[in-house]
């Protein structure tokens, strides 16, 4: 929670809604948006006699496919617009609720992660959120990730890996586990060109939509290990010097020994079992990297995705991230000023 240049004030806050029946974040997740679009599809079907999106289930549409359907069919465009408006209303309220929390007080910038804003309808919804926050006189600025959402949850690991280790290698391996997708990648630091890691990039990435395959927990871990082996082989072929370090981001509350104590309801199986330790399982499964003992570290996915923004938040003191995915992740940070550095 304490890094050289930033303090992680908190993450995975579970705020109850005003009625006390559920959690605030549940109404502003990617899953919630699809429920909203479902409702508008049903209304349009009743009004015009047919579903503007056809017979395909909303959950089976990619964001690109939703944008394409809206381009072809005015009714689909209208339904998507109305769902986006509903979503913007909810997300604006969620931002305001988080800003009331002690670990978020004084936040000057809120960064939206996840891939929602990388669609036309998502981008318009975020613009509406900005308008609503401005009308509510919220002073915190709303921005989106600099990096592609598939990369942000990997790049953030360059700020969590041991600095002395990074000096001797070109790149690290990183994993981002979500409720729908797993992303594994090689992150090149370019540390000697940009010491603040602002040039860090994913030079090779593999994405697995595991939800389509329905793996059990151990099968998911095995699939991750197999993809990491492929990336290790790729790095050797391209002569990329990999550090003996793998950063793994996943939902939930992570304790110091690398075990998970809550917040993994969107993942298959029991990730909170005392007999399950993800870093150890991966260490046992993977070959050594660079001939040395490989270190596997685990942290919360929203924290890691937020840290990818660290080089671009140096103009503010307090900032936070909300990641829109299967669920809604959150984390807040305080940049440390020069006198605080030891």
pLDDT digits (tens, 9 = 90+) for 121-171: 999 999 999 999 999 999 999 999 999 989 999 999 999 999 989 999 999
How do strand 253-254 and strand 260-262 relate by DSSP bridges?
Answer: antiparallel
**pLDDT band with cut points at 50, 70 and 90 for residue 15:** confident
Does the pLDDT of residue 339 top 60, yes or no?
no
- Per-residue tokens: 317: 């003191």
Does the pLDDT of residue 188 top 90, yes or no?
yes
Higher pLDDT, 291 or 218: 218
CB 12 within 8 A of CB 330: yes
| pTM of structure | 0.91
Higher pLDDT, 312 or 264: 312
- Per-residue tokens: 165: 């280790």
- Please give the pLDDT value at position 152: 93
Report the C-alpha dihedral over residues 288, 294, 297, 302, rounded to 10 degrees: -50
Q: How far apart are CA 225 and CA 217, in angstroms?
A: 13
Provide the mean pLDDT of the chain. 92
pLDDT per position as a tens digit, 288-336: 887 778 899 999 999 999 999 999 999 999 999 999 988 889 999 999 8
Q: How far apart are CA 7 and CA 30, in angstroms?
A: 28
- Please give the pLDDT value at position 321: 97
Mean pLDDT computed over 201-227: 94
**pLDDT band with cut points at 50, 70 and 90 for residue 19:** low
pLDDT per position as a tens digit, 79-116: 999 999 999 999 999 999 999 999 999 999 999 998 88
């Amino acid at each position: 929670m304490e890094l050289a240049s930033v303090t992680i004030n908190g993450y995975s806050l579970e705020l109850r809604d005003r009625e006390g029946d559920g959690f605030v974040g549940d109404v502003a997740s990617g899953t919630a948006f699809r429920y909203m679009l479902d409702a508008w599809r049903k209304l349009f079907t009743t009004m015009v006699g047919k579903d503007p999106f056809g017979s395909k289930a909303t959950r089976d549409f990619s964001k690109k496919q939703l944008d394409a359907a809206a381009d072809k069919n005015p009714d689909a465009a209208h339904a998507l617009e109305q769902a986006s408006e509903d979503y913007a209303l909810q997300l604006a309220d969620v931002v305001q609720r988080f800003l009331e929390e002690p670990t978020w007080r004084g936040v000057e910038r809120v960064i939206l992660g996840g891939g929602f804003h990388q669609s036309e309808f998502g981008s318009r919804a975020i613009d509406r959120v900005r308008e609503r926050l401005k009308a509510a006189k919220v002073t915190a600025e709303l921005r989106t990730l600099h990096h592609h959402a598939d990369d942000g949850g990997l790049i953030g690991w360059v700020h969590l890996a041991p600095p002395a280790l990074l000096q001797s290698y070109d790149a690290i391996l990183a994993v981002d586990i979500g409720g729908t997708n797993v992303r594994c990648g090689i992150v090149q630091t370019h540390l000697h060109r940009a010491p603040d890691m602002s040039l860090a990039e994913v030079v090779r990435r593999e994405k697995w939509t595991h939800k389509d395959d329905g793996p059990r927990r151990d099968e998911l871990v095995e699939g991750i290990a197999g993809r990491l082996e492929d990336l290790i082989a790729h790095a050797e072929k391209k002569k990329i010097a990999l550090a003996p370090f793998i950063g793994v981001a996943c939902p939930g509350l992570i304790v110091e020994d690398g075990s998970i104590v809550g917040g993994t309801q969107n993942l298959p199986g029991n990730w909170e079992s005392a007999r399950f330790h993800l870093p150890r399982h991966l260490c046992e499964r993977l070959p050594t990297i660079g001939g040395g003992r490989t270190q596997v570290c685990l942290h919360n996915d929203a924290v890691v995705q937020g840290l990818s923004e660290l080089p671009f938040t140096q103009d503010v003191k307090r900032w936070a991230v909300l990641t829109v995915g299967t669920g809604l992740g959150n984390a807040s940070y305080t940049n440390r000023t020069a006198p605080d550095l030891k």
